[in-house]
């Protein structure tokens, strides 16, 4: 008996010291990153407005000088515009090296990402020089190294441009990210792999990231299956299952959603219901992108839903795109203590190298987001050039519980 007591005492006294209490950490998140300097033209087209539709189906005409001349000789003016709309703003930029070119768009925001404990963004184009380039965008494989250089820890590849270079391009993108030391979510060699969370720990706080998309330009065949590579659909059954699988192992579950209507700042009621259901299923933070313009932020049951950051970086611009924002979350193991909204430039050519806004441009962006957030019962304070949101006290009035399903 005495021996057992002594052994028990030795076990207690020789045990490792209790871990220190977890400190506060910061998570910095942003929207769409695209650094495809070239937009691929359509390989073929139908002129649906000019060619007559009979019982014979429309014939595809190749986008070549010969076919264009042939159509014009028949009195048809074919649509030979690029895959994006007619108002593309291209950048007059030249670089001395590939490294300089790939780091250029990140240079002015990199200090913010490096200062954060964890940094996230949505990667809006493949990083590959293989695959069948049939979509709009293709970025350099070495842009993965630039992301790591800028301090970005994890990206989502679940978006509508994931298959711009076919499944081979997606798989090569994932390999390039892995090689550069950048985590990824939302895509993989099969559905199981694509659903795998990326878990990161900083300062005793564990965060799991998951990624999903509502759209893929390549069609339904671009979504991952149990046998084929692809990205994960915005399927509520899958999302809820993925959250529950990781919920007990981490302090925060962060889900990335590529969703909503492009170039619209309004958040649809059904989108809010969907987001609420995902929070009810155990998510702590929803990071939204795809609209290319900023939307409001909602606090629901103490959790945070960013409906759209807007763009962060893009290889071209449009006259109607606008300034955007980053969100810096202050977290401890128990709660989201604060969210700071950091306005960044995004109009015209500034989208090639965004920077933190100050003065009137910053206040204009923040005032707009403040108004849109208030419409979702969330209070955003403006202090100088930064928006401040306190999730524990941000609701202006109680939000209806268990909205959506």
User: Each residue of 227-254: pLDDT tens digit?
Assistant: 999 999 999 999 999 999 999 999 999 9
Look up residue 246 and give its two tokens. Answer: 């990781």
Q: Does residue 261 share a domain with residue 326? A: yes
Domain that residue 62 falls in? 44-73
Using CA atoms, how far apart are residues 261 and 293, in angstroms rounded to an integer?
10
Within-domain flag for 403? no
Query: CA-CA distances (angstroms) from residue 235 to 257, 270, 277, 280?
Result: 11, 14, 12, 15
| Per-residue pLDDT at 70 | 87
| Per-residue pLDDT at 124 | 95
- Phi, psi (rounded to 5 degrees) for 319: -60, -25
Q: Does residue 65 share a domain with residue 117? A: no
Q: Does residue 128 share a domain with residue 105? A: yes
Torsion sign across C-alpha atoms 230, 232, 234, 237: positive
Q: Does residue 174 share a domain with residue 194? A: yes
| Per-residue pLDDT at 283 | 98
Q: Does residue 197 share a domain with residue 68? A: no
Within-domain flag for 62? yes
SS3 349: helix
Judge whether 295 and 260 are in contact, CB under 8 Å.
Answer: yes
- Phi, psi (rounded to 5 degrees) for 273: -60, -40
Using CA atoms, how far apart are residues 371 and 296, in angstroms rounded to an integer?
8
User: Each residue of 205-224: pLDDT tens digit?
Assistant: 999 999 999 999 887 889 99
CATH classification at residue 142: 3.60.21.10
| Per-residue pLDDT at 37 | 85
Within-domain flag for 3? no
A 10 A CB-CB count for 253 gives: 27
| Per-residue pLDDT at 385 | 98
Judge whether 26 and 330 are in contact, CB under 8 Å.
Answer: yes
Judge whether 209 and 184 are in contact, CB under 8 Å.
Answer: no
Q: Does residue 106 share a domain with residue 54? A: no
| Per-residue pLDDT at 276 | 98
Q: Which residues of the chain fall below pLDDT 70?
A: 1-22, 45-58, 79-86, 393-405
Within-domain flag for 350? yes
The number of helix segments (H) and strand segments (E) in the chain equals 10, 19
Q: Is 260 left (phi over 0), alpha (psi -120 to 50) or beta?
A: left
| Per-residue pLDDT at 82 | 52
Q: Does residue 227 share a domain with residue 193? A: yes
Q: Does residue 373 share a domain with residue 318? A: yes
Within-domain flag for 359? yes
Which of these, 391, 273, 260, lies nearest to 329 by C-alpha position? 391
Tell me the residue ranges of DSSP E strands in 105-162.
Answer: 118-123, 154-156
- Judge if pTM exceeds 0.75: yes
| Per-residue pLDDT at 64 | 85
Relative to beta strand 25-33, strand 118-123 is parallel
| Per-residue pLDDT at 9 | 32
DSSP 41: B
Domain total for the chain? 2
| Per-residue pLDDT at 56 | 60
Judge whether 165 and 133 are in contact, CB under 8 Å.
Answer: yes
Using CA atoms, how far apart are residues 403 and 370, in angstroms rounded to an integer?
23
Q: Does residue 110 share a domain with residue 69? A: no
Judge whether 214 and 258 are in contact, CB under 8 Å.
Answer: yes
Judge whether 403 and 272 are in contact, CB under 8 Å.
Answer: yes
Within-domain flag for 18? no
Q: Does residue 110 share a domain with residue 49? A: no
| Per-residue pLDDT at 1 | 35
A 10 A CB-CB count for 176 gives: 23
């Amino acid at each position: 008996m005495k021996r057992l007591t002594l052994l028990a005492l030795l076990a207690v006294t020789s045990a490792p010291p209790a871990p220190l209490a977890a400190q506060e950490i910061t998570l910095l998140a942003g929207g769409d990153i695209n650094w495809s300097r070239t937009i691929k033209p359509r390989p073929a087209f139908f002129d649906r407005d000019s060619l007559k539709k009979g019982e014979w189906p429309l014939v595809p005409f190749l986008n070549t000088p010969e076919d264009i001349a042939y159509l014009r000789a028949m009195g048809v003016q074919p649509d030979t515009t690029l895959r994006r709309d007619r108002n593309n703003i291209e950048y007059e930029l030249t670089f001395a090296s590939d490294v300089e070119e790939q780091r250029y768009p990140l240079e002015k925001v990199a200090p913010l990402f490096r200062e954060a404990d964890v940094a996230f963004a949505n990667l809006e184009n493949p990083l590959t020089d293989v695959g069948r380039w049939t979509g709009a965008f293709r970025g350099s494989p070495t842009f993965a190294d630039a992301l790591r250089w800028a301090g970005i820890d994890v990206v989502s590849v679940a978006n509508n441009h994931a298959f711009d270079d076919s499944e081979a391009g997606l798989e090569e993108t994932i390999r390039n990210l892995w090689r550069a030391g950048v985590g990824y979510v939302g895509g993989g060699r099969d559905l199981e792999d694509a659903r795998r969370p990326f878990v990161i720990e900083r300062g005793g706080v564990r965060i799991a990231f998951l990624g999903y998309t509502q759209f893929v330009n390549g069609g339904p065949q671009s979504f991952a299956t149990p046998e084929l590579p692809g990205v994960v659909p915005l399927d509520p059954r899958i999302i809820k299952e993925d959250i529950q699988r990781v919920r007990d192992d981490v302090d925060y579950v962060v889900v990335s959603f590529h969703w909503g209507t492009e170039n619209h700042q309004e958040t649809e009621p059904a989108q809010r219901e969907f987001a609420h259901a995902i929070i009810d299923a155990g998510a702590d933070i929803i990071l939204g992108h795809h609209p290319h313009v900023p939307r409001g932020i909602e606090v629901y049951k103490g959790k945070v839903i960013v409906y759209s950051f807007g763009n962060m970086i893009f290889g071209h611009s449009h006259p109607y795109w606008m300034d955007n924002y980053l969100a810096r979350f202050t977290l401890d193991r128990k709660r989201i203590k604060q969210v700071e909204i950091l306005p960044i430039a995004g109009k015209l050519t500034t989208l090639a190298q965004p920077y933190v806004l100050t003065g009137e441009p910053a206040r204009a962006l923040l005032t707009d987001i403040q108004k849109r957030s208030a419409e979702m019962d969330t209070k955003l304070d403006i202090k100088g050039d930064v928006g401040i949101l306190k999730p524990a006290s941000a609701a202006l009035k109680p939000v209806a519980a268990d909205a959506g399903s």
